[in-house]
């Protein structure tokens, strides 16, 4: 089977208080990935600002923007200039009192291809996303771009095998997970290693179970909680997993970086021939998946 080679990259970055400075840096780092040959580039979750969901504060709604809008226009221009696809995570203002955690896909000369709204919304200490985000109502989505079939999910979605499967069944060759995940520093010594291992294991398992590539793109650096003495130490370590679950490239924990890897999309078919999980699925026997709890 002939190779189908695609250079794909990601931007791992830290965020400061200045939204415009963050956006300018994200554009520059995306351009760096393009200069390294990337035809598809993914950025971290909500890269235009610090992770504001650590506290519930209605002042943060001012960070939201229309999609499409000014930020998607800027990234669409870059995508069109270089004929690349860009996966960009943004805070969407849909209407007063109605906001989403949304990722836009910009597809080269074709421009804005559409958006995915985060389906699974967490509500945990320092991750108070339910205060800000309405659950997605666009369903799981694949985007047929000039450079491949791109499935887009977001952060908390990455813990749900159903989300990865539903997206892969739409034909996705790469599952993208813009992410904001890290440690509570006071817990890191006790549970830090196990938490990181669980996170990476889940993404690798999505790659294996669906026979596709997975790209998880995290932010890095410590961001203080404005409402307390705590904060989150985002652990970086963005990575790409191959259809057999092997890690193709991985970023360090404590550095901003741009990494690009050459992916062979023909490996998807070879992997699925050897491990034909799609073929052997018992779609006639999965009715309990649609229930909250099957023993009710």
Residue 1: pLDDT above 80?
A: no
Query: Could you give the residue numbers annotated as active site?
Result: 45, 118, 155
What's the length of the chain?
296
Phi, psi (deg, nearest 5) at residue 80 = -70, -40
- Which among 83, 69, 85 is positioned nearest to 23, based on CA atoms? 69
Task: Output the pLDDT for position 62.
Answer: 98
Write down all domains in the chain, each with its CATH number in brackets.
5-282 (3.60.110.10)
Report residue 75 CA to chain centroid gap: 16
pLDDT at 227: 82
The pLDDT value recorded for residue 68 is 98
In tens, the pLDDT along 156-213 reads: 999 999 999 999 999 999 999 999 999 999 999 999 999 999 999 999 999 999 999 9
Tokens of 86: 């860009």
Alpha carbons 230 and 221: distance in angstroms, whole number: 14
Residue 78 confidence (pLDDT) above 90: yes
Beta pairing partners, 143: 150
């Amino acid at each position: 089977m002939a190779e189908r080679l695609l250079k794909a990259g990601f931007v791992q970055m830290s965020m400061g208080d200045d939204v415009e400075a963050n956006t300018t840096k994200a554009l520059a780092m995306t351009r760096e990935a393009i200069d390294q040959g990337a035809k598809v580039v993914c950025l971290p979750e909500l890269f235009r600002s610090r992770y504001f969901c650590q506290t519930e504060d209605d002042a943060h709604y001012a960070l939201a923007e229309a999609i499409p809008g000014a930020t998607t226009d800027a990234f669409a221009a870059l995508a069109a200039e270089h004929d690349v696809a860009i996966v960009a995570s943004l805070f969407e203002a849909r209407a007063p009192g109605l906001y989403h955690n949304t990722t836009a896909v910009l597809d080269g000369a074709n421009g804005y291809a559409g958006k995915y709204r985060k389906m699974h919304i967490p509500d945990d200490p320092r991750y108070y996303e339910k205060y800000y985000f309405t659950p997605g109502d666009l369903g799981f989505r694949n985007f047929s771009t000039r450079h491949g079939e791109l499935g887009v999910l977001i952060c908390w979605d990455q813990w749900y095998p159903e989300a990865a499967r539903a997206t892969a069944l739409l034909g996705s060759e790469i599952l993208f997970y813009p992410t904001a995940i890290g440690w509570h520093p006071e817990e890191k010594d006790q549970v830090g290693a196990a938490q990181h291992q669980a996170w990476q294991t889940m993404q690798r398992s999505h790659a294996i179970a669906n026979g596709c590539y997975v790209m998880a793109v995290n932010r890095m650096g410590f961001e203080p909680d404005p409402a307390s003495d705590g904060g989150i130490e985002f652990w970086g370590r963005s990575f790409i997993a191959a259809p057999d679950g092997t890690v193709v490239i991985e970023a360090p924990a404590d550095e901003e970086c741009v990494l690009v890897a050459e992916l062979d999309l023909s490996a998807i078919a070879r992997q699925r021939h050897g491990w034909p999980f799609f073929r052997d699925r018992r779609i006639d026997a999965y009715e309990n998946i649609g229930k909250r709890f099957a023993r009710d």
